[in-house]
């Protein structure tokens, strides 16, 4: 649906002024290089001869008492934006059509208003209520709707009553009655006569969208200006003698009889406008857009309510401390609101409503989008020093009038680990991933007498099996070698403590010894030829303490001369 607010600027001016002022001939002017130029005029002004585009001096020549009011294009555009949002009451999606039009996508929404016809009536009534002249039209494409809204009748400026009879066939979703007539009739384009077939069309009928040829037939008699073309392109077309859409479509005039000639003529036209890359400079592109053969992207208007949080206070605040508390609450709320939108505030406005109706405003601007409650609170706290609470503040409102996208950023895992350290599980995971799961282990006791078997290794975070505590009088070494290393011993008695031994190429004198502690082989597990061990704790001359054992006894029948091994290192 396209809505043309034909006299937006005048309507706005009229709403702002009095009826007496409207009765006088008035023109809205804009300063140009050649002097003030009229952009719009009210009814009295038009009647007096003022026309848009005229120089004010010329208009004054026609009507000396023409009042001149500066126009406000920026205000018009802002108003149009608001209207675009407001127009989303008719459809979920609306776009601006500057300077004075709106496009609303009402696909599938017309039935909510009781059909397309009543939808248009509703549009007309709603705009009339706001005091705006509006013409609305429905069409399958935005271009066609625009064309219809602007040029549905030759006299474009008419009272804002949509000619329902005329627009009825132009409503979206309507087709020609017979399927056989759905090819283009070149005669229609040639003659330029108004072929407005008034096929009664039930509004609620399931709408197969009209194909381009069909729509072209319906729109054939609209002027080429309905294609939203630039002024110079329109001039060129006028000089070429192409005045209506039908003529542009069937440019050769040969039509069906001579397709080759038609194609050649169309090709000539395309070459004539080949430099026009923008749609507004290329009538063929515009025509295709109007017929829906080429997509026409539109920028929708999306309402972005500014984040606003407020607190109504049960008791008026008269002191600074509770105000700071409220401010901290508001900042936290604001941070939450901003976070939900993925934004950070650049400008924040704090409004304090006093009991006597006074509103105190404080505003801060931030160098970068921020979403930190503490930061916001601190900044405002400095601006609140000069607040005069009077009889008390009863409402506090905080709004972010300028916010920028600020992605939710996770302080990444490593940074968190940098600051607070990793947990034990995370640490174990990192270690086992790099070093292998077998490398990170926890020693646990096992029920065994043999020293190397009395200890096993299990994953570090698994529960430790219950075990008997080792006997306290067994003084065990701090470290055990992975496999006991043989040592050469020199001892006085074959079964006694060695006096001297050689380990790793160094001869050590034994100065102290304790032992033996006999550990018998585990016969239920080992072969019968396994020899027993006699362990000694020894200390050599340098004070190094070792755990050595003699494997077997002389004459135990399980081997020859007993061998000596060094198994553990005492601290």
Instruction: Name the site residues for another protein (rule: CB under 8 A).
Output: 374, 417-424, 426-428, 430-431, 434-435, 438-445, 451, 454-455, 457, 460, 464, 470, 472-482, 503-504, 506, 511-514, 537-539, 541-545, 568-571
Minimum separation from the CB atom of position 402 to another protein (A): 25
* In the complex, minimum distance from the CB of residue 517 to another protein, in angstroms, rounded to a whole number: 11
Nearer to another protein by C-beta: 176 or 540? 540
The nearer residue to another protein, 278 or 475, going by C-beta atoms, is 475
In the bound complex, what is the minimum distance in angstroms from residue 497's beta carbon to another protein? Answer: 9
- In whole angstroms, the minimum distance from the beta carbon of 513 to another protein comes to 7
User: What is the residue whose two structure tokens read 């304790």?
Assistant: 514
Nearest distance in Å: CB 537, another protein? 5
Q: How far is the CB of 562 from another protein (least distance, A)?
A: 22
Question: Closest separation between CB of residue 320 and another protein, Å?
Answer: 24
Closer of 304 and 442 to another protein (Cβ): 442
Closest by CA to 83, choosing from 74, 96, 72, 71, is: 96
384 versus 445: smaller Cβ distance to another protein: 445
31 membership: H or E segment, kind and range: strand 26-32
Instruction: Give the DSSP letter string of 238-287.
Output: HHHT--BHHHHHTTTS-GGG-HHHHHHHHHHHHHHTTT--SGGG-HHHHH
Closer Cβ to another protein, 127 or 547, answer by number: 547
Residue number, 304 or 512, with CB nearest to another protein:
512
Structure-token pair, residue 440: 């990170």
CA distance 395 to 535: 86
Q: Given the complex with another protein, which of 257 and 482 has the nearer CB atom?
A: 482
Produce one character per residue of 19-36: b if its CB has 16 or more CB atoms within 10 Å, e if not.
Answer: eeebeebbbbbeeeeeeb
Whichever of 310 and 455 has its CB closer to another protein, that residue is 455
For residue 434, how many other CB atoms are within 10 A of its CB?
9
Instruction: Output the CA torsion 439→444→445→447 (10° steps).
Output: -80
- Minimum distance from residue 476 beta carbon to another protein (Å): 4
Exposed/middle/buried for residue 462 (C-beta within 10 Å: 0-12, 13-18, 19+): exposed
H/E segment holding residue 334: helix 320-341
Q: Kindly state the smallest distance separating residue 524's Cβ from another protein, in Å.
A: 21
Instruction: Please report which residue ranges of 24-182 form alpha helices under DSSP H.
Output: 43-48, 56-62, 73-86, 116-129, 142-151, 164-168
DSSP-derived pairing of the beta strands 67-70 and 26-32: parallel
Structure tokens at 367: 């160098």
Cβ proximity to another protein: between 235 and 423 the closer is 423
DSSP state letter for 223: B
Angle at 565 between CA 563 and CA 569, to 5 degrees: 165
């Amino acid at each position: 649906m396209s809505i043309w607010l034909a006299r937006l600027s005048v309507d706005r001016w009229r709403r702002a002024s009095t009826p007496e002022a409207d009765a006088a001939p008035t023109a809205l002017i804009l300063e140009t290089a050649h002097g003030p130029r009229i952009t719009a005029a009210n009814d009295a002004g038009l009647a007096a001869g003022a026309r848009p585009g005229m120089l004010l001096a010329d208009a004054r020549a026609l009507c000396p008492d023409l009042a001149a009011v500066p126009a406000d294009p920026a205000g018009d555009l802002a108003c149009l934006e608001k209207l675009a949002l407001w127009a989303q009451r008719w459809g979920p999606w609306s776009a601006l059509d500057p300077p004075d039009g709106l496009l609303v996508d009402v696909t599938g929404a017309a039935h909510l208003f009781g059909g397309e016809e009543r939808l248009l009536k509703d549009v007309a009534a709603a705009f009339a209520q706001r005091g705006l002249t509006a013409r609305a039209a429905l069409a399958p494409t935005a271009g066609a709707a625009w064309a219809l809204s602007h040029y549905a009748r030759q006299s474009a400026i008419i009272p804002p009553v949509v000619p329902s009879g005329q627009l009825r066939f132009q409503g979206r979703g309507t087709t020609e009655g017979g399927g056989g007539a759905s090819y283009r009739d070149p005669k229609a384009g040639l003659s330029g006569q108004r072929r407005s077939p008034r096929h009664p069309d039930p509004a609620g009928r399931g709408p197969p969208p009209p194909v381009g040829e069909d729509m072209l037939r319906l729109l054939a008699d609209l002027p080429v200006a309905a294609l939203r073309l630039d002024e110079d392109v329109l001039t060129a077309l006028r000089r070429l003698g192409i005045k209506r859409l039908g003529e542009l479509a069937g440019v050769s005039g040969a039509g069906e009889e001579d397709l080759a000639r038609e194609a050649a003529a169309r090709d000539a036209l395309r070459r004539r406008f080949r430099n026009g890359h923008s749609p507004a400079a290329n009538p063929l592109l515009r025509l295709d857009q109007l017929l829906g053969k080429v997509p026409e992207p539109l920028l929708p208007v999306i309402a972005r309510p500014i984040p606003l949080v407020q607190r109504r206070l049960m008791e008026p605040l008269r002191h600074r401390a509770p105000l700071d508390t409220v401010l901290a609450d508001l900042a936290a709320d604001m941070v939450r609101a901003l976070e939900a939108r993925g934004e950070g505030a650049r400008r924040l406005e704090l409004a304090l409503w006093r009991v006597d109706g006074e509103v105190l405003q404080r505003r801060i601007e931030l160098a970068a989008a921020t979403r930190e409650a503490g930061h916001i609170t601190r900044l405002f706290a400095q601006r609140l020093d000069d607040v005069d609470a009077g009889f008390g503040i009863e409402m506090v409102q905080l709004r972010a009038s300028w916010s920028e996208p600020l992605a939710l950023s996770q302080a990444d895992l490593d940074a968190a680990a940098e600051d607070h350290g990793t947990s034990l599980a995370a640490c174990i995971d990192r270690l086992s991933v790099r070093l292998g799961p077998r490398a990170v282990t926890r020693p646990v006791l096992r029920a065994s007498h043999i020293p190397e078997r009395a200890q096993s290794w299990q994953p570090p975070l698994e529960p430790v099996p219950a075990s008997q505590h080792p006997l306290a009088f067994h003084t065990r070494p701090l470290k055990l070698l992975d496999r006991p290393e043989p040592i050469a011993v020199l001892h006085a008695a074959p079964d006694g403590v060695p006096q001297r031994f050689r380990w790793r190429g160094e001869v050590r004198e034994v100065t102290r010894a304790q032992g033996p502690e006999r550990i018998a082989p585990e016969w239920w597990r080992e072969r019968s030829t396994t020899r027993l061990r006699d362990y000694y704790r020894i200390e050599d001359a340098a004070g190094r303490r070792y755990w050595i054992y003699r494997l077997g006894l002389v004459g135990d029948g399980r081997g020859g001369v007993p061998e000596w091994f060094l198994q553990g290192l005492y601290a």
